[in-house]
Amino acid sequence: MKKRSLLQAALALATAGAFALPASAQTLTPIKFQLDWRFEGPSALFLLPAAKGYFKDAGLNVSVDAGNGSGSAVQRVASGSYDIGFADMAALMEFHANNPDAKNGPIAVMVVYNNTPAAVMALKKSGIAKPADLTGKKLGAPVFDAGRRAFPIFAKANGVGAVQWTAMDPPLRETMLMRGDVDAITGFTFTSLLSLEARGAKASDVVVMPYADFGVKLYGNVIIVNPKLVKENPEAIKAFLKAFTRGAKEVIANPAAAIAYVKERDGIINTQLETRRLQLAIDTVVNSPDARAEGFGQLKPQRLSLMASQVSDAYGTKTRVNPETVWNGSFLPTAAELNILPRK
């Protein structure tokens, strides 16, 4: 009897100890998150809140995986392999317009890159100084490059005539420009400009024509969610966005410190280079004049509608993009919590 009493007491203590654990330790909701690209400077926006426990504080167990392009990120969230992802708004629009009857179309719930990072870049020695100079020239980019796919919008806005395209794998884009195989390239500013410098160009040698500065007001990367998560656990989406915003505020305030969390995930990155990449992303697409005017995370319905029309034309989608199917801003944190962009 004595042994049985001791055993019962031990079991009671063990049970009590389990219930004494913090609620967050018992009820963390697992979330699989898909980045648009590999672990580089901008991924600090997601890696910092994960590493510092902000997602866990919000009741979530978030795993962050590297990606290989926005189109792939959209597909993986649509398939249910990932709950939440990070992808270009245009790629999301294309998925919806080409799969109008699909029930699994991801939904954008927060804008992170208020402007597309796409730009046209050329070397000054080519004589290209403005968009009109691109007429008749040879441009290069991978076939899936966001800037290349949206180039018809850029061309129309700036009166650019016909150009000749050369396709290549991403690692060869800047090399071919440096060799003179192409006259100009399209790419993300914080990717291609730094890649050109790595190949011997000086920043002063490069003409950069950001789409956002030349009349193309496309939204860039957004946080997307699987519709199943919207239906079954909307509170998890709200918690994710709140924790992400908390971390993003720190990243924007101190990019150099935030790179440490990228280094934790990929030990071979060049810390100095990735810090510059992150700062470029913040300056050009996260804390841009448009972002400060519209508010971090948010968008303007009129601008979204215009983008939907432009993407429909430029991408040649099967159906017209319906802006109402790609965006749901009801999960966003409060205006006070979203007020994280410092004035310049």
Confidence of residue 343 (pLDDT cuts 50, 70, 90): confident
pLDDT of residue 26: 64
Picking from 148, 167, 120, 92, the residue whose alpha carbon sits closest to that of residue 325 is 92
Instruction: Give tens-digit pLDDT for 198-235.
Output: 999 999 999 999 999 999 999 999 999 999 999 999 99
Q: Listing from the earlier edge strand, what are the strands of the sheet with 118-123?
A: 164-166, 138-140, 184-188, 118-123, 206-210
Domains and CATH numbers, the chain: 29-113+220-315 (3.40.190.10), 118-213 (3.40.190.10)
| Distance separating alpha carbons of residues 126 and 271, to the nearest angstrom | 32
Residue with tokens 């795993």: 63
**Two structure tokens written together for 254:** 């101190």
Look at residue 284 and tell me whether its pLDDT is greater than 70.
Answer: yes
Own/partner pairs, 334-338, CB within 8 angstroms, 24+ separation? 335/295, 337/242, 337/245, 337/246, 338/245, 338/295, 338/296, 338/297, 338/298
* Average pLDDT score, the chain: 93
Distances (CA, A) of 323 to 218, 219, 275: 13, 12, 34
Taking residues 257-274, report their average pLDDT: 97
First to last CA, the chain: 76
Number of separate helices (H) and strands (E) present in the chain: 17, 10
